[in-house]
Structure 1
């Protein structure tokens, strides 16, 4: 501000400010922004709307809020704010030129959600959200505030920000350096502040695979979306697995279906590494090291021991989870393919450090060890890591970035040429769990039966469908899964064989692009899967009949 020369006039310079409020405070912030747009640099207003009836609001004069970020949102059944009022508020601010972000959540709780706090940070600071570093297997560093990660030491006596140094290691101390995986975290409060872990029952999660392996082909319909309240932990269902989590050898295959975000609960898995493949609904996987945005067609890798919460972007979410009890997932060797192709390490993105110093009495942390679940409470948010460095890091990867290889002259390649990740066993050429994907690709083989060949494979296969245009009544639809046991014969349908045989040579040899409108995956293992009680009870009847009866074409 300043005074004029002799005239008594006063000129005032206005510095735009960010308005923030919750509930009634959010309503006031929005009303001030609407009436005095020149004062506003941003609005953070969860669980709020403009005051009065929308029919009483004057239309904005031009677009006085051009480019101003405005965050709105509430629970879908929040009884303190009408959905129509929130939608009308969003429409008014968009008409005024604002960049409106509506971050809703499920349920009826009147609160500021973790997703709103994540997105709102940019509104409040005026700084865009930072992207995490890339590079699968690299030693990475990320810090949310300058100096959070010490430049030289891992455990300085006095951290300049008063942070606690905490190491998380997923391998033994004397593991060879190339196989060592650990991360140092610098956090507001230590994880040791949790209370005692007590037993926690979720009846659909299994870790005992002591029965006889399944020998027949079997299929499973997509999980029904829940009608009761279920978050990611509540919504997990184990279909099959092998080995033992207690012995750290083997795997489990789960499905999930959820309709609630993990707002007051987090999970860590001491049994192994998790591979999350959404089929319906995008997720924010909030980890101690930062947030990962994971949509259908992408995957998230959550290492052993990392604490995380799963937040839903929509009213419901569904997908698949592979769990490797033994060695970690790694990129497969390319062999004769050379130095390029398949999954590239640079396409795997780690989270950027993000933290909150927030008290949260009664916050639950669920731990899984030896297949059993336990739960402890703590009085603060577990997402208080201001900086970290190491190679025990979660990643997100877009399966659309996979560069497939294939036969380009004749014959059908093995599915292993589409391997994205591999969790190996100790024996050469075997694996606990391999992830194989079937992305868009060209088939230019000639004189070849192009559908997948009939096969008896020593490796067991678990198949899932993320994207597919299914015919009415087809069991092969998104969310479905099916298991092919070791050395059990299988192949394509009789109809596919007949179609291939009736093509003329020109049609049969024409190059075609496959997988354009679909996305399937396989989890392959040298260990034979054992169905859980849930899996045995929910297998589709007469699955082997799905493939039809194959006539003889034999002639002499």
Structure 2
């Protein structure tokens, strides 16, 4: 089903008429189902931000054994375990465990790279990598802390949710919102990125003078249709719950994916990045990257995001009298970048698919030497930029701390990153005089 934030209604075709008519919570539901509401916002939120869905299921989710603590592995919300590092950081592609050596599923393959804020106060962000090689068997995950925006980089993932199934491939993203239970099947060694936000949900950015259409169009978002399994698991089905930054597990004897029908506007969804309608400068200068925002998680300050998800897709570069790659920059926001495929234009060599970079608040960054020299003398003609490439950025107003795993344990930090700027030389000429050729022709 297509649309962003729509009111959807879906029932498994095996049980026609399983959605109650005219009410949410009848005395007896069709087919003897249980009615259960999943709320993604306070009851009293304005209609424009009120999020909830009604699920009609074979057994309610409340029927389970008590939760008990379990190992968190490299998943953490401890932002003070190592000293802050204000340097430019670059990670080589994160290692994926070999299936022949160790079986690792989505949950055990979660590694927190950086973050800030606090899930208890419902205000913050965390960035994780997932590297796994086996499917989750009789196990599902629920994030009580926030929303997961999942960006597969290598290997497609089949996500089974209480709302139905989604196949998500590299160059697609999906969002699993707070409290939704899901399981991940993989088909080979798999890797990807996760942006987690606490306390808010992702929404489409306002378009302002762009108008009614552009960027990520609502019709291109896809929501799964109802699918259920009525399956008893005598050996025990495991529910893993991320709660206040820790992991807990409980057991039940049935599959949680037993929702026969549902309706509402609080759902998981996916989006193909190829559908993004790119806007770009057509005269002169380099536009700010905010024009490439796919989704935003707003803060209480107007125009300031807890997190933006921004992409750098294939596009035309036509600006005259302009240094076309990204400019040199110091930012009041934190910029975490990843690469799904191809070569990022500002750093074609060091930045690799499956790797990442972090340029923290007010840490200088920009094109490397080769990029600057090449593009300072390039003949400016219309050209395709980032063909065959998809880079992205998680940008946040939070000053993010890097975890011990990110700085040390992963062993993927490129400590020579700073050298890509060391050969930048001065081109200053105090005798320079303007000429007719140097004036912009706007």
TM-score calculated relative to the size of structure 2: 0.92
Are 2:94 and 1:223 aligned? yes
Q: Identify the match of residue 177 of structure 2 among 291, 303, 311.
A: 303
Superimposed CA distance per residue, residues 337-371 of structure 1 (whole angstroms, 9 cap, x where no aligned partner)? 11111001110000010001110131101001110
> Which one of 2, 5, 10 corresponds to residue 142 of structure 1?
10
Distance 2:342 2:397 in 1: 28
SS at 1:192's partner residue?
Answer: coil
- State the partner residue of 1:511: 382
Unaligned runs of 5+ in 2: 431-442
1:354 aligns with 2:197: no
Counterpart CA distance in 1 for 2:386 and 2:195 is 23
1:289 and 2:159 matched: no
Aligned to 1:176: 46
Alignment-derived partner of residue 372 in structure 2 = 497
Indicate the residue corresponding to 2:398 in structure 1.
527
Task: Find the residue that maps to 1:286 and give its secondary structure.
Answer: strand
Question: Which residue matches 1:13?
Answer: none
Residue 475 in structure 1 maps to residue 350 in structure 2: yes
Q: Is the 8 A contact 2:3 2:218 kept in 1?
A: yes
Determine which structure has more spread, i.e. the larger CA radius of gyration: 1
Tell me what 2:285 maps to.
411
The answer for unaligned runs of 5 or more in structure 1 is: 1-132
Structure 1 counterpart SS, 2:373: helix
Question: Partners of 1:500 and 1:219 in 2: how far apart?
Answer: 23
Contact 2:297-2:305 at 8 Å conserved across structures: yes
Q: What is aligned with 1:369?
A: 243
Residue in 2 that maps onto 1:253: 127
Q: Indicate the SS of the match to 2:222.
A: coil
Q: Secondary structure at the match of 2:247?
A: strand
Residue 470 of structure 1 deviates from its aligned partner by 8.7
Distance verdict in 2 for CA 1:370–1:186, change over 3 Å: same
Q: Name the stretch that deviates more: 536-545 or 411-420.
A: 536-545
2:66 maps to which of 185, 196, 203: 196
Which of the pair is proportionally richer in strand?
A: 2
What pairs with 1:9-20 in structure 2 (closer than 5 Å)?
Answer: none
Cα deviation for residue 210 of structure 1 reads: 4.1
Are the equivalent residues in 1 in contact too, given 2:91–2:357 (CA < 8 A)? Answer: yes
Give 3-state SS (helix, strand or coil) of 2:31's partner: coil
In structure 2, distance between residues paired with 1:180 and 1:213: 38
Instruction: Decide which moves more: 269-278 or 173-182.
Output: 173-182
| Partners of 2:421 and 2:37 in 1: CA distance | 52
- Greater relative CO (CA pairs within 8 A, separation 6+): 2
SS in 1 for 2:196: strand
Give the secondary-structure state (helix, strand or coil) at the position aligned to 2:351: coil
Cα deviation, residue 516, structure 1: 1.4
Equivalent positions of 1:86-485 (< 5 A) are 133-144=1-12, 145-210=15-80, 213-227=84-98, 228-312=102-186, 314-361=187-234, 362-468=236-342, 474-485=349-360
Q: Distance in 1 between matches of 2:170 and 2:416?
A: 30
Distance 1:475 1:448 in 2: 25
Distance 2:79 2:299 in 1: 18
Q: Greater shift after overlay, 168-177 or 183-192?
A: 168-177
Question: What is the deviation of 1:535?
Answer: 1.1
Partner of 2:437: none
Measure, in 1, the Cα distance between the counterparts of 2:356 and 2:239. Answer: 30
Q: Distance in 2 between matches of 1:540 and 1:248?
A: 33
Residue 494 of structure 1: how far off its partner (Å):
1.1
What are the superposed Cα offsets for residues 442-473 of structure 1, whole Å, 9 maximum, x if unpaired? Answer: 111001011111111111100000001599x9
How far apart, in 2, do the equivalents of 1:532 and 1:496 lie? 31
The 1-side partners of 2:406 and 2:248 are apart by 23
Contact 1:214 1:529 in 2 (8 A): no
Contact 1:217/1:483 (CA < 8 Å) preserved in 2? yes
Structure with greater proportional helix content: 1
**1:214, 1:405 → 2: CA distance?**
35
SS in 2 for 1:191: coil
Contact conserved, 2:309 with 2:395, CA < 8 A, in 1?
yes
Name the CA distance, whole Å, in 2 between partners of 1:336 and 1:315. 44
2:228, 2:178 → 1: CA distance?
Answer: 21
Contact preservation (8 Å) 1:326, 1:423: no
Tell me the distance in 1 between the aligned counterparts of 2:344 and 2:400. Answer: 27
